[in-house]
Amino acid sequence: MPGSAAANGEPQLVEARLVASVARAQLTPSGYASTEVWAYNGQLPGPTLRLRQGERLRVRVQNMLTEGTTVHWHGVRVPNAMDGVPVITQPPIEPGGGFTYEFTAPDAGTFFYHPHQRSYEQVGRGLAGALIIEEREPPRVDRDVLWVLGDWRLDRDASIRGGFGSFMDVSHNGRVGNTVTINGRVPDEFPVRAGERIRLRLVNAAAARVFALQFRGHRPWVIALDGQPVEPHEPDRGVVELGPAMRADLILDMTAGPGSRHAVRDSFYSRLEYELVHLTYSDELPLRARPDEPVRLPANRLPEPVLENSERHAVVFTGGMMGNMRALRRGMAWAVNGVSSACGEGASAFDPLFVLRRGRSCVLNLVNDTAWHHPIHLHGHSFRVLTRNGAPTRHREWLDTVMLVPHERAEIAFVADNLGDWMFHCHVLEHQAGGMMACIRVI
Ligand code: C2O
Ligand code: CU
């Protein structure tokens, strides 16, 4: 493990500190008002934590908010006690209190961290940051660029509008905002140079917004999804679609001419298309004449599920407006296999959806029996997506968050190799709060 072990053979330790507090940030272009947000270390997004695969991360978290919080390391296969789920894996960090998270990073890739307590509001007010775990031998690119995508519902004075967790948002699309940011700022230009090769790490840190990005005049290649390498491919119709919590690593070759300017468009919501940012070329001569060979990332060492004799379960997601209204009467808009659960606010451990023996291969048949999009996230594991609506997927990609479009079915497979109670929920955070959450126990 070059570069990841200290002299004594122990993994190298990387230490960081995150302080969650109220802060002010300039989301909108300068000249407009600043916004009161909740932030880690006063920064939006929170500081990017970087370490090498196989290294150990120790993060001291301090809570300066007036309510409890936790930090969840989304997509990282951490031991259960480090997973940051209130009540289930740890008591919430009380105001004024602290907690130290420590784990070894098993997989290289693009991950992120966020609170798991009342996350629809805590994330919605700004608490999220990227966690980048570098390959032991990173691929050669000219620039490694991170875009943390954020979405805010602002009033005219740039303050964050209240009404978090409103029934309207919970029972529909979630709290989709009106202001999109890249790395905490409404972007305009992204300066590039002709011929350069960029590794673009996209993180959708929004509570509810789905992105469908088109890089006009460019042909991005997807090399990793949710941190896990995938057979390099151009996305369908050239559109990179990212639901909440999903990540994609792209190779973006700057193949256009010096001095040119190209829009990155987001066209997910019909009739609400907009230009997110422009790739703005300098006048410099191209860095190279033709793009280099495609980049292929080394696979992480994930346990491969064995499909014969695997354990099989169906998981049916229901609810929402236009859905079965039974749960609505109890104030919960969504359900998983007929049960609505939320966690955090005082809820004690909940009954697992099912119990898996450690080491078992498991195939879940996910059924979206609703008229809405749901990015479904499993903690503690990555899973392969085997089929969608019965048809094999082209790349059998490893994900930790799989988007189910309305009425879609998907089969996912994984080895239940991580002990503990793992949350399994929709990452539209208002849907999660509205009952679209379950737990899978590995014993
Ligand atoms: Cu990104 Cu259960 O969360
Ligand atoms: Cu959902």
DSSP 236: G
| Residues 130 and 112 sit within 8 Å (Cβ to Cβ) | yes
Measured from the Cα of 85, ligand 1's closest atom is 2
The alpha carbon of 412 is separated from its chain's Cα centroid by a whole number of angstroms, namely 18
- Ligand nearest to the backbone CA of 423: 1
**Do 311-442 and 13-134 have the same topology in CATH?**
yes
Å from CA of 272 to ligand 1 middle: 27
Beta-bridge mates of residue 62: 19, 98
Is 116 near ligand 1, meaning CB less than 6 Å away? yes
- Please give the Cα distance from 437 to 397 (Å, whole number): 23
Query: What's the pLDDT at 141?
Result: 97
Beta-bridge mates of residue 49: 131
Q: Give residue for tokens 């997110």.
A: 276
Å from CA of 351 to ligand 2 middle: 20
Measured from the Cα of 437, ligand 1's closest atom is 2
Beta-bridge mates of residue 411: 365, 387
Å from CA of 427 to ligand 1 middle: 6
Domain boundaries of the chain, sorted by first residue: 13-134, 143-281, 311-442
SS3 (DSSP) at 351: coil
Task: Kindly report the pTM of this predicted structure.
Answer: 0.96
- Return the C-alpha torsion angle 129, 108, 354, 327, nearest 10: 30
Torsions phi, psi for 119 (to 5 deg): -65, -25
Is 74 near ligand 1, meaning CB less than 6 Å away? yes
Query: What's the pLDDT at 339?
Result: 86
CATH topology of domain 311-442: Immunoglobulin-like (2.60.40)
Query: What's the pLDDT at 9?
Result: 75
Query: What's the pLDDT at 330?
Result: 57
Cis peptide leading into 79, omega within 30 of 0? no
Query: What's the pLDDT at 192?
Result: 98
Q: What is the CATH number of domain 143-281?
A: 2.60.40.420
Is 247 near ligand 1, meaning CB less than 6 Å away? no
Query: What's the pLDDT at 31?
Result: 87
Measured from the Cα of 245, ligand 1's closest atom is 1
Torsions phi, psi for 236 (to 5 deg): -55, 135
Is 377 near ligand 1, meaning CB less than 6 Å away? yes
Give the number of residues written for the chain: 443
Beta-bridge mates of residue 6: none
35-40 and 56-63 beta bridge pairing: unpaired
Torsions phi, psi for 294 (to 5 deg): -60, 155
Query: What's the pLDDT at 332?
Result: 76
Structure tokens at 407: 């009425």
End-to-end CA distance of the chain: 30
Query: What's the pLDDT at 344?
Result: 47
Which of 373, 396, 372 minimizes the C-alpha distance to 385?
A: 396
Please name the residue whose Cα sits nearest to atom 3 of ligand 1.
74
DSSP-assigned states of every residue in 294-336: PP-PPPP-PPPPP-TT-EEEEEEEEESTTS--TGGGGT--EEE
Torsions phi, psi for 407 (to 5 deg): 65, 20
Å from CA of 119 to ligand 1 middle: 9
Which of 228, 231, 176 minimizes the C-alpha distance to 206?
A: 176
Please name the residue whose Cα sits nearest to atom 1 of ligand 1.
74
Å from CA of 253 to ligand 2 middle: 34
Residues of the chain with pLDDT under 70: 1-7, 321-331, 343-349
Query: What's the pLDDT at 351?
Result: 85
Å from CA of 83 to ligand 1 middle: 9
Query: What's the pLDDT at 356?
Result: 97
H/E run at residue 433: helix 429-433
Helices vs strands, H then E, count in the chain:
3, 31
Å from CA of 379 to ligand 1 middle: 7
CATH architecture of 13-134: Sandwich (2.60)
Measured from the Cα of 74, ligand 1's closest atom is 1
- Ligand nearest to the backbone CA of 435: 2
